[in-house]
Amino acid sequence: MAGKVLTITSGKGGVGKSTTSANLALGLALSGKKVVAIDLDIGLRNLDMILGLENRIVYDVVNIVEKTCKLNQALIKDKRTENLFLIAAAQTRDKSAVTSEQIKELAEELKKDYDYIILDSPAGIEGGFKNAMEPADEVIIVTTPEISAVRDADRVIGILEANSKTETNLIINRIDPTLVKRGDMMSKDDVLQVLSIPLIGIIPEDKNIVSYTNIGEPSILHKDSKSGMAYKNIIQRLLGKNVEFMEITEDKKGFFQNLVSLFKE
């Protein structure tokens, strides 16, 4: 097997890298791919919580590269699918505890047995980002339609180009149709005109994500979730299918629904 390293990065913090990593990892696994997700945000472990696997962690990525455990011992099996494993970030160390060479070596090893190695990058453009960027075969840049996130994404795109990373795609996260309609948020097309890299997904603002994270079940597991649907589309595109981009529109409340919410208050 010759797996692929897919890095999820952004420049700006808090735009949805880990949420995206969790959903893509789980979604690809549920479509039958063998997946390892690696949390490279060392010192600020997150992916384990989003995936609901925090109680299973014994060893982490630093243990692997320092060879204080075997690779197999640090692979945490998902509860829902046989196809997904997590390698957690170390919580008591910092980004300098691993080098990009070590991550590259680990990724090469994993490529033999897995279809996708998903690297959840920390924010920024320093060491931790480089650890995630350098081993990448493909990169997904996550941004929101906010001016500072887009600016930082552009910077990251420039760095990726300079490092000959040519397989790069964009996810625009947290699109709020009400704000776009009012002219107070850049639309998908506005962001694309500024950044000009291929788009692989648009995710709506989804108030339910907080509760999905609370219980460790990413959107993709929830049937009626709009963000889950958006992530499912991205997975289809990663698997080479041509799926139209969803329209992100305001929830239309009918007269009856309005009436119901009136009484609910």
Q: How far apart are CA 213 and CA 192, in angstroms?
A: 29
Residues 45-64 that bind ligand ATP (CB under 6 A): 46
Work out what residue 210 binds among another protein, Mg ion, ligand ATP, none; the CB cut-off runs from 5 to 8 Å by kind. ligand ATP
Query: Is residue 23 close enough to count as binding ligand ATP by CB under 6 A?
Result: no
Three-class DSSP category at 149: helix
- Locate 83 and state its tokens: 């196809």
Determine, following the binding rule CB under 5 A, whether residue 144 of this chain makes contact with Mg ion: no
Minimum distance of Mg ion from residue 19's CB (angstroms): 8
Q: Which residues bind another protein (CB under 8 A)?
A: 147, 150-151, 154-155, 158, 162, 180, 182-187, 190, 193-194
Tell me how many degrees the CA angle 82-83-86 measures, rounded to the nearest 5. Answer: 100
Find which of another protein, ligand ATP, Mg ion, none residue 193 binds, CB within 5 to 8 Å per kind: another protein
97 or 180: CB nearest Mg ion = 97
Buried-exposed string 54-77: b where 16+ CB fall within 10 A, e elsewhere: beebebbbbbbbeeeeebeebbbe
Q: Is 16 helix (H, G, I), strand (E, B) or coil?
A: coil
For residues 232 and 179, what is the distance between their CA atoms, to the nearest angstrom? Answer: 24
Q: CA-based diameter of the chain, in Å?
A: 63
Question: Does the footprint of Mg ion cover residue 227 (CB under 5 A)?
Answer: no
Kindly state the number of chain residues that form the binding site for ligand ATP, as judged by CB under 6 A.
21
* DSSP code, position 247: P
- In angstroms, give the least distance from the CB of 172 to another protein: 13
Q: How far is the CB of 15 from another protein (least distance, A)?
A: 16
Name residues contacting ligand ATP, limited to 200-219 (CB under 6 A): 203, 205-206, 209-210, 213
- Residue 109 CB, nearest approach to ligand ATP (Å): 25
Per CB under 6 A, does 7 bind ligand ATP?
no
- In this complex, which beta carbon is closest to another protein, that of residue 21 or of residue 144? 144
| In contact, 238 and 24? CB cutoff 8 Å | yes
187 touching ligand ATP, by CB under 6 A: no
How many beta carbons lie within 10 A of that of residue 51, not counting itself?
28
Question: Could you give the CA distance from residue 40 to residue 35 in angstroms, rounded to a whole number?
Answer: 16
Which of 23/83 has CB closer to ligand ATP?
23
Give the binding range for ligand ATP (CB under 6 A) out of 12-20, 86-94, 109-117, 159-167: 12-20
d(CA 223, CA 30) in angstroms, rounded, equals 14
In whole angstroms, what is the distance from residue 261 CA to residue 253 CA? 10
> Which residues here bind ligand ATP, judged by CB under 6 A?
10, 13-19, 41, 46, 122-123, 173-174, 203, 205-206, 209-210, 213, 227
